[in-house]
Amino acid sequence: MKTILITGFDPFGGEPINPAWEAVKTMDGYTDGDYKVVTQMVPTVRYKSVDTVKAAAEECQPDFILCVGQAGGRPDITVERVAINCDDFRIPDNGGNQPEDEPVVADGPSAYFATLPIKNIVNALHQNGIPAKVSNTAGTFVCNHLMYGVCHYAAQKDNIKAGFMHIPYLPSQVVDKPNQPSMAVETVRATLETIVHVLAHGESYKAQDINYTTPHE
């Protein structure tokens, strides 16, 4: 059986939860066709985040790696196109690191493009009533750091495709944040199931064939 590794960050920035991990952890052991999902929680820490995903990948030998992170303020699923070789943290990470204009990988290329089928993913999400779009910036915090580092790792392998997506806050996170958008964990779970379906079936996928294990609106 082939493997899709999906990762989600731990809480950061004073939040008690991280919607990425809250959704991702529900996917562990999920299967679609010949593919199974392995999940991994990732520390919101420079370098340690990349090392954690690399270690998980070495153990499970995935065909695909999808990293998921929180983007508070964004109203929809944003599938990232590119990661840049720049760490410029507006706040300290969970390890107290706050680099300014430093490379993720010394002497690495300026950027890496996701190798997941980002347009197919967005189209499939739209077909299933989930708001989504391609994003052209993953920021310069640990999300971008992880995407760049994982894509750098995958570029050295012959059989791994990798990418990243951001998700909104959960509803419970915006109770004290007026006018901030949110998305239910069930919808994020449905998003992940849709993406797994796209990755598992390639161009032959049919969005209407997905049998969601959790309800979503």
Q: Which fold has domain 2-209?
A: Aminopeptidase (3.40.630)
Residues ≥6 apart with Cβ < 8 Å to 176 = none
Contact in structure between 161 and 64 (CB atoms under 8 Å): yes
Question: Is 80 known to be catalytic?
Answer: yes
Query: Region 116-140: what's the mean pLDDT?
Result: 97
Tell me: the pLDDT tens digits for 40-83?
A: 999 999 999 999 999 999 999 999 999 999 999 999 999 999 99
Q: How confident is the model at residue 15 (pLDDT cuts 50, 70, 90)?
A: very high
pLDDT digits (tens, 9 = 90+) for 28-39: 999 999 999 999
| pLDDT at res. 217 | 45
- What is the phi/psi pair of residue 111, to 5°? -160, 160
Residue for token pair 């971008």: 144
Q: Which of 22, 143, 145, 151 is catalytic?
A: 143
Q: Is the dihedral of CA 182, 184, 188, 190 positive or negative?
A: negative
CB of 104 closer than 8 Å to CB of 201 = no
Per domain, the residue ranges of the chain are 2-209
User: What share of the chain in percent tops pLDDT 90?
Assistant: 92
Cα–Cα dist 39/67, whole Å = 10
Query: Is 60 an active-site residue?
Result: no
Eight-class DSSP state of 84 = E
Q: What is the mean pLDDT of the chain?
A: 94
pLDDT at 202: 82
| 173-206 confidence digits (pLDDT tens) | 999 999 999 999 999 999 999 999 999 998 666 6
Annotated active-site residue in 80, 151, 193, 216:
80
DSSP notation for 16-36: S--HHHHHHGGGTT-EETTEE
Q: Reduced to 3 states, what is the DSSP secondary structure of residue 80?
A: strand
Taking CA 205 as the corner, what is the angle to CA 204 and CA 211, rounded to the nearest 5 degrees?
150
Is the pLDDT confidence value at 87 over 70?
yes
Q: What is the DSSP letter of 169?
A: B
